[in-house]
Chain A
Amino acid sequence: MSLKSYSRGRAIHVMLVYTGGCNGCDIEIVNCILSPKFDAEQYKVFLTWNPREADVLVVTGPVTKHNEQPLREIYKAIPEPKAVVAAGACALMGGVYKNCYGDIPSEEIAGPVDQIIPVDAKVPGCAVRPQDIVAGLVSALPLLLNAD
């Protein structure tokens, strides 16, 4: 293991972006990192709200029209190497908000996350379980550790 990946592996910063979901997933993610029961901090995973500090971007919510541009800018502001985890049914496929009445797309929703920024790991669930989040974060880590 090189020195870079050794030191990167000991300070993984996760940034959480809310893009218009119902808050359920967001709180489960905060819970999974801060709560002593799941405690992702013991694996050296920390929560941050600053994109320039972050390594992993966790996106929740169906990305409303107003949130589309901020999401792109946040993605640009994160330094390389970076990984994106889409968490929750809304982030994966728009959830219950994507279509109103059958398959008529809702005008409020800009689409699932993978239509806006590239997604590396997907965590399903409504709302996502903290155990799944830890698994999703861990599955995205090789991207960070194996990069130059």
Chain B
Amino acid sequence: MDDKKENRTVIEAEVPMGTVHPGALEPYRLRLFVEDEIVRDAEMTVGVNHRGVERIMEGLPVEKANSLTEKICGICSNIHIWNSCRVGEIALGIEVPERAVYIRVIMGELERLHSHILYLAHGCEVLGHETFSMRLFYIRETVMELLRMIGGNRVQYGSAVLGGVRPRCELDEMRIQKLTEGMNLLEEGLNDFANRFVSDPMVMSRITGVGVTSPEDALRLACSGPTLRATGVELDLRTEMFEYDPFEYDVITEDDGDVKSQLLTRVFENFESIKIIRQAIRNLPDGPITNRSWEMQDTPITKSYIEAPRGTLYHSYALEDGRVRNCVIRTPSMANIGAMQYSAIGHHITDAQLCIVQCDPCFTCTDRAIQIIKR
């Protein structure tokens, strides 16, 4: 036994995944460079989903272009049309009625709820805990029904128009009643889930200390949204948006930056969203929901930043004869790709998929033509 030499050969290999792979739900290409099952480097490539929505938007009338932005992403569709309308409203100086702002906030928060619950369900599925995943899909169905009730469709609601919201999305007493009941149901279900989730030792041991991103690295990689907040940086664009001024809520942060903090940030943000929706229902002001007294004019390029469920969303365009020019869209998952690559490094290859999923990827909206300017 003594003369047997220890085998110290380190096997270096490249593990390619994608673009369609049984382990990944969405099409993207991932290359993992491993040394003895430990990931040393990761490279993620997007681009297979590029459809060029900006190109299609170029030259369309602004109302049409707004409704087209909704088709960028099927998860956060409302936030895209809201932000696109916001660009037009800032450019043309349209004053949005207060009731319309409240309804937009309600839709935005409902969407944040369904996006975060979907994220948690996806995370639990990747963890291999299908019971939690099904449970969360069941909870999510409440939100989807509420969205269908207000917007008329389960995925693309098209609630915002230039100067307000669509008449279809008016909240009458029956709808407010159903919203209140839905929020109670949701809070109960999420509380139940959160208690079971944190008291499950198997799940906790699987996610604690995996995929750690430090706050300095998260800022260096220009992450945004809950991915950044889970590392301990208190940065939420909602605090700077005038739409959210009347509401009281906390900005959720977690300390560790691992998968556990990422999941728990989303769980606690759900409760904040429920809080905001309850305040909005209680203080819903009366009045019109659409302001139609505005005139079209040519405007220079106008920007708008908004807090989407995944992070900071940017839209900008100029108007020329009522038509959209020089449209640029930057989606939050684009910023979080750096964190996805970075957090997988140094961990076991079986955790690589979990490290990517913890950053809430949405590769369909990520495929934009962008130019990275290094300073």
Contacts and interface: CB of A to CB of B under 8 A. Distances in A.
Contacts of B135: 36
Contacts of A50: 22
Interface of B: 19-23, 25-27, 47-53, 55-56, 58-60, 68, 71-75, 77, 118, 121, 125, 130, 133-135, 137-138, 140-141, 144, 153-156, 362, 364-365
A121 interface: no
Interface in A29-43: 30-31, 34-37
A23 B51 contact: no
Contact of B77 (A22, A30, A100): A22
Give chain A's interface residue range (CB within 8 Å of chain B): 35 or more
Given A35-B134, A64-B48, A109-B51, A22 B27 contact: no
Contact of B74 (A22, A48, A67, A106): A22
A116 interface: no
Interface stretch (A3-11, A13-21, A79-87, A136-144): A13-21
Contact of A126 (B23, B140, B156): B156
B50 A35 contact: no
A17 B77 CA distance: 21
Interface of B is mostly: loop
Given A36-B138, A106-B55, A22 B73 contact: yes
Contacts of A67: 19, 27, 48-49
Given A36-B134, A49-B23, A24 B74 contact: yes
Given A49-B22, A49-B25, A129-B154, A34 B133 contact: yes
Given A67-B19, A67-B27, A108 B51 contact: yes
A74 B20 CA distance: 9
A119 interface: no
Contacts of B60: 101
Contact of A127 (B25, B53, B59, B153): B153
A95 interface: yes
A20 B364 contact: yes
A120 interface: no
B20 A27 contact: no
A27 B68 contact: no
A97 B48 contact: no
B74 A127 contact: yes
Given A23-B364, A35-B137, A66-B47, A100 B56 contact: yes
Contacts of B138: 35-37
A37 B22 contact: no
